A = this chain, B = another copy of it.
Amino acid sequence: MPKISVKGHNMPESPIRKLVPYAEEAKKRGTRVYHLNIGQPDIKTPQVALEAVKNNSIEVLAYARSEGSETYRKKLASYYRRHDIDVSESDIIVTTGGSEALLFTLGSITDFGDQIIIPEPFYANYNGFSVANGIEVVPIESNIENGFALPPIEAFEEKITEKTKAILICNPGNPTGYLYSEEEIVKLKNLVLKHDLFLIADEVYREFVYDGIRHHSVMSQEGLENHAIMIDSVSKRYSMCGARIGCIVSKNPEVIQTALKYAQARLSSPTFALMASEAALETPQSYFDDVIHEYDERRKVLINALKEIKNVRVSSPKGAFYCIAELPVEDADDFAQWMLEKFEDEGETVMVAPASGFYSTPGSGKNQIRIAYVLNKESLLRSVELLRLALDQYPG
């Protein structure tokens, strides 16, 4: 029997997916499972995006232009300019989701055996995209004590080798909810300029910032034009995760030209989703005001409720819709599985994402979980109550 590759063998399983069979079993037993484990919002997709697809007059569902149509990229550039990001359509390659944007970026700037530095905990699939590209993730641990702020810049500098090609951040962060300050972005900027590295910022949660704090994009930093690469996506912004449209944005023409070759090799992004994404740019500000108000309320309700549980420590997220909670358990993987397998209260239980999958340092984050506040307030409160009851009863 022919063998799969070492790379294929090393591809990580999704840390969330490992628990899915247990959740399915629980449901089969008739237990209601509250899903705090995934970043799939319950927020409605803007009507204008859905209508564009429903009212389409397509007769031949043809390939779209590999890099996205000029019209769509122009509209995207104008959206970015409204967010203090001064780019034009030629700085943008439209991709099939933020996932593909990151895959093309890594393919464009790294070779087999290269390294990228990422503050951990980080979005788990960065691991998968790195394995797929044959490169090594060098993690730098951030801490719940200061809400997962940027680790000291010296910690980054210590890890830079001749194989280091980029520093990758997620801002605001999944899974931490941390929003980097301009001061932190400037520290990273000075470091990448000094060592001539790329600074990749996954900014897909740009709109989701709270407490009146402003988001600072790597694309707004003067002098960083050739070094900054932004990853973006319509998934969270318009609650259209199933569209699979994202983009790479960079003022570095070589990066864009190289990413374009990757885009051409796969021919096209999905045409229906491109229609929805272009129309979504017409979403009225009131939609965002409502959505962000809703997330902000959920965030407060969730964090306050979590803080009331004895021996639970929780970070105070300033952006995105996740937080990390530290639990009084030794192994959150085991606890999360136990909640699905053995625990229920009045026929209900809760599913969380063990945070260990968001760390690449073995053993880190073992007592942490990620919670996505993508459910309504009532469900969130009930979920936290279930978590509290489960912690009381957990034998582990």
Contacts and interface: CB of A to CB of B under 8 A. Distances in A.
Contacts of A8: 107-109, 258, 261
A325 B252 CA distance: 40
A14 B9 CA distance: 31
A272 B276 contact: yes
Interface in A85-104: 96-97, 99-100, 103
A1 B196 contact: yes
Nearest to A199: B2
A213 interface: no
Interface stretch (A39-47, A168-176, A332-340, A361-369): A39-47
Interface stretch (A52-60, A136-144, A182-190, A313-321): A52-60
Contact of A99 (B13, B44, B266, B276): B266
Interface size class on chain A is 35 or more
Interface string A33-70: 00000001111110001100111101111111010000
Given A61-B240, A99-B267, A269-B244, A128 B261 contact: yes
Given A8-B258, A44-B60, A54-B54, A100 B270 contact: no
A198 interface: yes
Given A112-B134, A267-B241, A50 B58 contact: yes
A112 to B, nearest CB: 5
Nearest to A45: B61
A12 interface: yes
Nearest to A198: B2
A152 interface: no
A241 B62 contact: yes
A255 interface: yes
B267 A270 contact: no
A53 B53 CA distance: 7
Nearest to A264: B14
Nearest to A38: B63
Contacts of A97: 266-268
20 contacts: A1-B196, A2-B165, A2-B196, A3-B109, A7-B110, A8-B258, A9-B258, A13-B261, A50-B59, A50-B61, A61-B242, A62-B242, A96-B96, A96-B244, A112-B134, A128-B262, A132-B265, A242-B272, A270-B270, A272-B272
Given A3-B109, A44-B60, A242-B271, 11 more contacts: A2-B109, A2-B192, A2-B197, A7-B107, A11-B107, A11-B262, A40-B62, A45-B58, A97-B266, A241-B267, A272-B272
Interface of A: 1-9, 11-14, 17, 40-45, 49-50, 53-56, 58-64, 66, 96-97, 99-100, 103, 107-112, 114, 125, 128-129, 132, 134, 165-166, 192, 196-198, 226-227, 239-244, 252, 254-255, 258, 261-262, 264-273, 276
